[in-house]
Amino acid sequence: MKQNILILLLLFSFSLSKAQQKEYLQKLNDCINERVNLKIKKMYGIDSFDYYKLINKVEAVVFNNPNKEGYMEYVKKIESGNFSKNKLIEEGLDEMNRTGFFVSTHIVDILNNCPYIALNANQLGETPMSKRQKVIEQSYSNSNAKNTLIDYFNLTSIKDFEHIEFRSPILIMILANYLKLNPR
CA distance 66 to 104: 22
Asked if residue 12 is part of any domain, the answer here is no
- The C-alpha angle with vertex 12 and arms to 6 and 14, in degrees rounded to 5, equals 105
Judge whether 112 lies within some domain: yes
The pLDDT tens digits of the residues spanning 94-138 come to 999 888 888 888 888 888 889 888 886 555 567 787 888 888 877
Look at the chain and report how many structural domains it folds into.
Answer: 1
Asked whether residue 4 is domain-assigned, the answer is no
Average pLDDT over residues 35-50: 81
Give yes or no for residue 184 having a pLDDT over 70. Answer: yes
Residue 2 located in a structural domain:
no
Pair 173, 110: CB distance under 8 Å: no
pTM metric for this prediction: 0.82
Say if CB 116 and CB 133 are below 8 A apart.
yes
Per-residue pLDDT tens for 46-105?
777 889 999 999 999 999 888 999 999 999 998 888 888 999 999 999 999 888 888 888
Q: Look at residue 175 and tell me if it is in a domain.
A: yes
The predicted pLDDT at position 18 comes to: 75
Q: Is 78:178 a contact under the CB 8 Å cutoff?
A: yes
Q: Identify which of 36-40, 110-114, 117-121, 143-147 has the greatest average pLDDT.
A: 110-114
Q: Within a domain: residue 8?
A: no
Instruction: Determine which helix (DSSP H) or strand (DSSP E) holds 158, and give its type and residue range.
Output: none
Residue 150 lies in a domain: yes
Query: Which stretch of 14-23, 30-39, 82-91, 109-118 has the lowest confidence by average pLDDT?
Result: 14-23
Q: How many CB atoms lie within 10 A of CB 177?
A: 22
What distance in Å separates the CA atoms of residue 53 and residue 46, rounded to the nearest whole number?
14
Boundaries of domain holding 38: 19-181
Q: Judging by beta carbons within 10 Å of its beta carbon (0-12, 13-18, 19+), is residue 173 exposed, middle or buried?
A: buried
- Is 31 part of a structural domain of the chain? yes
